[in-house]
């Protein structure tokens, strides 16, 4: 583990948000979790209808409002100002969670503190934190048809976030389908973690160096044997 790693390589979070948006299919209903995943709303491909859901009772979220155009009554689950697309709707939080628990979301995109090689997710509480609540993440991970993670590959201190077994309190077990980080896109499969795509300038060896679980390289991905230094 390299505790002194300071420079973030690969995709920036904005570039990664745009890359995640490309994988959302036309007609999908998608929940964007609090924090980094909300960036994706600004990068939905033109001409593709992705209906964004917020657990506080909204469907049809648009990109962030222009400065000065914020409506204090129009916010997402993280209390950030949002816009609503034509045809968007408001409803009670109980109805919102009925949608989630009823299996009506095609994908949920969340952040993570840790994720295991089996797709176990820890996203709500650090071990030494006195505060923490799981919120709607437990419902979203169990109720959505797909669970994607959007995160930095390591912590700011260089600690591993993709590990063999989670050591933090779990949000849900074996729920994650795909992990998007600044270094790579990794699928969680029955055969283990498979690197589906590498960020520009990043190699498989480099990704493995900063991952505390074994990785496999997808047969369609090309990588040099020497990692970025």
Active-site positions? 55
How far, in Å, are 36, 135, 144, 158 from residue 14 at the CA level? 9, 25, 24, 21
DSSP line for 155-213: -TT--BSEESS--SPPSBSS---EEE-SSEEEEEETTEEEEEEE-TT--HHHHHHT-BS
Please, what sign has the CA dihedral across residues 142, 143, 147, 149? negative
- Residue (of 169, 162, 218) closest to 195 by Cα position: 218
Count CB atoms within 10 A of the CB of residue 213.
17
CA 112 to chain centre: 7
Tokens of 21: 């948006």
Phi and psi torsions of 101, nearest 5°: -70, -20
Tokens of 101: 């628990």
**Which secondary-structure segment (H or E) carries 51?**
strand 51-54
């Amino acid at each position: 583990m390299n505790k002194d790693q300071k420079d973030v390589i690969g995709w920036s979070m904005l570039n990664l948000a745009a890359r995640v948006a490309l994988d959302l299919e036309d007609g999908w209903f998608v929940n964007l979790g609090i924090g980094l995943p909300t960036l994706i709303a600004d990068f939905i491909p033109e001409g593709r209808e992705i209906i964004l859901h917020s657990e506080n009772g909204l469907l049809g979220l648009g990109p962030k409002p222009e400065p000065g155009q914020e409506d204090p009554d129009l916010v997402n689950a993280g209390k950030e100002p949002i816009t609503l697309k034509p045809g968007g709707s408001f409803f009670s939080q109980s109805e919102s969670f009925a949608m989630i628990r009823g299996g009506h979301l095609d994908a949920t995109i969340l952040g993570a503190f840790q994720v295991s090689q089996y797709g176990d997710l820890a996203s709500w509480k650090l071990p030494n934190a006195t505060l923490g609540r799981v919120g709607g993440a437990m419902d979203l991970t169990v109720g959505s048809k797909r669970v994607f993670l959007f995160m930095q590959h390591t912590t700011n201190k260089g600690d591993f976030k993709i590990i063999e077994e989670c050591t933090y309190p779990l949000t849900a077990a074996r729920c994650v389908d795909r992990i998007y980080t600044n270094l790579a896109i990794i699928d969680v499969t029955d055969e283990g973690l498979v690197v589906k795509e590498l960020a520009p300038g990043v190699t498989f060896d480099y990704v493995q160096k900063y991952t505390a679980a074994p990785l496999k390289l997808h047969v369609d991905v090309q990588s040099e044997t020497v990692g970025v230094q």
